[in-house]
Amino acid sequence: MIIHLEELSGKIQTFTFEKRIRDFPVLEKISAAGDCLFAEPLDIRLGAKQMGEMVAVEGRVAATVRMNCNRCLIEFESVLRTGFTLTYIRRPPEEIEPAGDGDVELQAEKIGLIPFTAEQIDLLQDVQSEIVMAIPMRPICCETCKGLCPQCGVNLNETACNCENRTGDPRLAILKGLKIDHK
């Protein structure tokens, strides 16, 4: 996913990429683990412009994914969307050699600038990180998902059950057993 500086100007140039999951090693790993399956291709739209020694990139990714609901465990499909801004700054190669004292790079990173040296910028790693960060830690199939009954395990979205304490929170059960002395 490479942008050549010669294609850029002070105005926003747009780039569209259709990527396979195997283009992103980390996403491929997440997919293989079954945590989040990506449908292909991934639709990636970028807008980039050059401002002196800096290149600003605005990105938008929409990907259809299949995940398992954290509450009812059912697999569901949803569209993962993320938008982000990446800012790159040109650095002479010697300043970002790993053997250097790292001051320049550290300072740049501190304010969110990503150094680059060549006449092109490869956005793959940074775009991949943005997609990984957009994957929900605890995906739910819908806001109103009732989850599973903690006692009999039925999917409460599909059926009701006759278990007592249907709220199922043991902390509430303890509170209900407390006698409050009104004086």
Instruction: Give the residue carrying structure tokens 């057993």.
Output: 177
CB of 139 vs Zn ion, minimal distance in Å = 9
Residues in a beta bridge with 71: none
Contacting Zn ion within 16-55 (CB under 5 A): none
Distance CA 87, CA 52 (A): 12
Site for Zn ion contains 161 (CB under 5 A)? yes
Task: Candidates 3, 55, 63, 71: give the one binding Zn ion (CB under 5 A).
Answer: 71
- Cα separation, 120 vs 141, in Å, equals 41
Least distance to Zn ion, CB of residue 75, Å: 10
x/- map, 127-146, Zn ion, by CB under 5 A: --------------x---x-
Lookup: tokens for 142: 């819908």
If you write DSSP's letter for every residue of 24-79 in order, what string do you get? -HHHHHHHHTTSSEEPSSEEEEEEEEEETTEEEEEEEEEEEEEEE-TTT--EEEEE
What is the nearest approach in angstroms of Zn ion to the Cβ of residue 151?
Answer: 5
| Min CB(21)–Zn ion separation in Å | 25
Q: Is 67 in the site for Zn ion (CB under 5 A)?
A: no
Q: Does 69 bind Zn ion (CB under 5 A)?
A: yes
Contact between 148 and Zn ion by CB under 5 A: the answer reads no
Q: How far is the CB of 164 from Zn ion (least distance, A)?
A: 9
- 3-class secondary-structure state, position 116: strand
Tokens of 21: 């999951």
Tell me whether residue 96 or residue 140 sits nearer to Zn ion (CB atom): 140
Q: 41 preceded by cis ω (within 30°)?
A: yes
- Selected range binding Zn ion among 32-40, 45-53, 67-75, 107-115, rule: CB under 5 A: 67-75
Q: Which residues bind Zn ion (CB under 5 A)?
A: 69, 71-72, 141, 145, 149, 151-152, 161, 163
